[in-house]
């Protein structure tokens, strides 16, 4: 007993957290000199997002899966809290067109056939790949080796999609529409809040109908300052932090948080290293994309923030004492990671973004395409949930127990 007490009172040094912190610091110094101070701050902001995502275990994929299978809606309601706060922060700034004296713009895209198809494919990919865009980054950064496979094929799927986007974007669509410009700031906020309240209310009704009461939150292992540093956080902490950090992204980058555009860029640069020149593809001839392809990746805001997310998650995993990578991945699970990653990457490009760029930042921008993405992706998740037992046999028993 004395030996056990001594072990508990002398926790192992969190080497993963120390390495992640050092890499973040070195990265900020490099970016400050090579690009500028704002780019260095965006790397740090990505680190804060990664730490938040990991400590709050704020996964869109698991939240939707639990609701679809078991009608537990805590994760879905946390997303509504996140979106509500984001709308309150974003709409006034987007209505004014500037924030702290700097021009800002929202993520507003067409309501197109490609959004419906892309979000549906992305939804399936979420359940097979085991994560969304942000989820793939923070779980891979936190030491999940399987999610590195998902990430690799996420990148490949994104690159493949860039060759086909001309055909997809030529399909029928409606023009980009924002509640901020169509209704005005205050009416747009009120309509959005009513929609969030309706979704949260439906989740409460369905959960109580299935279980009789709402799920009780289990207290965290740590309390006070230790919980803030080492986790785990309540979902609502994560929701509030993500909304605020997305708003900071708007202030620093001039546009909301996004993830998957960087994956297409990584794929294109990787293809170049392997001898495949994609610069003559129509997508990569667009001025902004051509410039990103020609510049070093550290000039790309999204790439820098993605790297920060992974380092932030690595730091969080080290602080929580959970960084323990394992290369033992069952064959079926590995196949699911490959298929899921391809669907995630391909679907995100068709849908003008992912659960972050299209859903979170799109709805925060007042874009109706964000709502269209939500509906199509939810149906994709519903199908993906039913495909999962083939790749994850251990879930078959859970599915039978829930009657789904």
CA distance 217 to 233: 11
Cα–Cα distance measured from residue 312 to residue 47, given in angstroms and rounded to the nearest whole number: 4
Distance CA 175, CA 368 (A): 10
Average pLDDT, integer, range 359-371:
98
| pLDDT for 144 | 92
Phi, psi dihedrals of residue 98, rounded to the nearest 5°: -150, 160
pLDDT band at 320 (very low <50, low <70, confident <90, very high): confident
Q: Which pairs from 248-253 meet CB under 8 Å and 24+ separation? A: 248/45, 249/42, 249/45, 249/305, 250/90, 250/93, 250/99, 250/104, 251/99, 251/100, 251/102, 251/104, 252/38, 252/41, 252/42, 252/45, 253/42, 253/301
Question: If you average pLDDT over residues 116-138, what whole number do you get?
Answer: 96
Asked whether 168 and 160 are in contact (CB, 8 A), the reply is no
Greatest CA separation found in the chain?
71
β-bridge partners, 336: none
Contacts of 394 (CB under 8 A, 6+ apart): none
Confidence of residue 10 (pLDDT cuts 50, 70, 90): very low
Could you read off the pLDDT of 47-82 as tens digits, one per residue?
999 999 999 988 899 999 999 999 999 999 999 999
CA distance to 112, 162, 285, 293, per residue, from 282 (Å): 19, 8, 5, 13
- Token couple for 203: 């989740």
Q: Is the predicted pLDDT of residue 330 greater than 70, yes or no?
A: yes
Cα separation, 65 vs 81, whole angstroms: 19
CA distance 377 to 369: 12
Write down the H helix ranges in 97-223.
Answer: 113-129, 133-141, 145-169, 179-182, 185-211
The tens digit of pLDDT for each residue in 129-143 reads 999 999 999 999 999
Residue with tokens 């509500």: 84
Question: Per-residue pLDDT tens for 137-186?
Answer: 999 999 999 999 999 999 999 999 999 999 999 999 999 999 999 999 99
Query: Which pLDDT score, from 0 to 100, does residue 193 have?
Result: 98
Q: Are 179 and 366 in contact, with CB atoms under 8 Å apart? A: yes
In the predicted model, what is the mean pLDDT of residues 18-22? 94
Beta carbons within 8 Å of 397's beta carbon, 6+ residues apart: none
């Amino acid at each position: 007993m004395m030996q056990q007490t001594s072990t508990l009172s002398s926790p192992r040094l969190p080497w993963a957290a120390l390495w992640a912190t050092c890499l973040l610091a070195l990265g900020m110094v490099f970016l400050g000199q090579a690009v500028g101070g704002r780019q260095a701050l965006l790397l740090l902001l990505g680190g804060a997002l990664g730490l938040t995502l990991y400590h709050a275990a704020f996964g869109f994929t698991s939240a939707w899966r639990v609701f679809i299978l078991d009608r537990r809606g805590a994760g879905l309601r946390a997303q509504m809290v996140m979106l509500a706060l984001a709308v309150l922060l974003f709409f006034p700034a987007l209505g004014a067109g500037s924030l702290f004296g700097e021009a800002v713009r929202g993520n507003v895209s067409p309501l197109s056939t490609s959004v419906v198809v892309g979000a549906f494919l992305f939804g399936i990919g979420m359940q097979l790949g085991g994560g969304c865009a942000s989820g793939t980054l923070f779980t891979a950064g936190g030491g999940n080796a399987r999610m590195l496979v998902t990430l690799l094929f996420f990148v490949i799927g994104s690159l493949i999609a860039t060759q086909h986007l001309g055909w997809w974007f030529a399909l029928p669509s409606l023009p980009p529409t924002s509640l901020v410009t169509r209704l005005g700031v205050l009416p747009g906020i009120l309509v959005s809040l009513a929609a969030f309240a309706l979704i949260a209310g439906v989740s409460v009704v369905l959960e109580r109908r299935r279980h009789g009461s709402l799920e009780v939150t289990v207290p965290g292992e740590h309390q006070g300052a230790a919980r803030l540093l080492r986790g785990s956080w309540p979902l609502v902490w994560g929701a509030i932090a993500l909304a605020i950090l997305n708003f900071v992204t708007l202030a620093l980058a001039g546009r909301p948080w996004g993830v998957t555009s960087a994956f297409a860029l990584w794929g294109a640069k990787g293809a170049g290293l392997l001898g495949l020149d994609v610069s003559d593809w129509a997508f990569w001839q667009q001025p902004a994309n051509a410039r990103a392809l020609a510049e070093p990746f550290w000039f790309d805001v999204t790439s820098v923030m993605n790297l920060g997310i992974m380092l932030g998650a690595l730091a969080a995993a080290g602080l929580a004492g959970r960084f323990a990578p394992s290369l033992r991945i069952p064959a079926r699970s590995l196949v699911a990671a490959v298929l899921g990653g391809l669907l995630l990457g391909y679907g995100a490009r068709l849908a003008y973004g992912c659960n972050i760029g299209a859903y979170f930042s799109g709805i925060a921008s007042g874009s109706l395409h964000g709502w269209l993405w939500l509906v199509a992706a939810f149906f994709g998740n519903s199908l993906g949930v039913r495909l999962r037992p083939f790749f994850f046999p251990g879930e078959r028993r859970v599915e039978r127990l829930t009657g789904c």
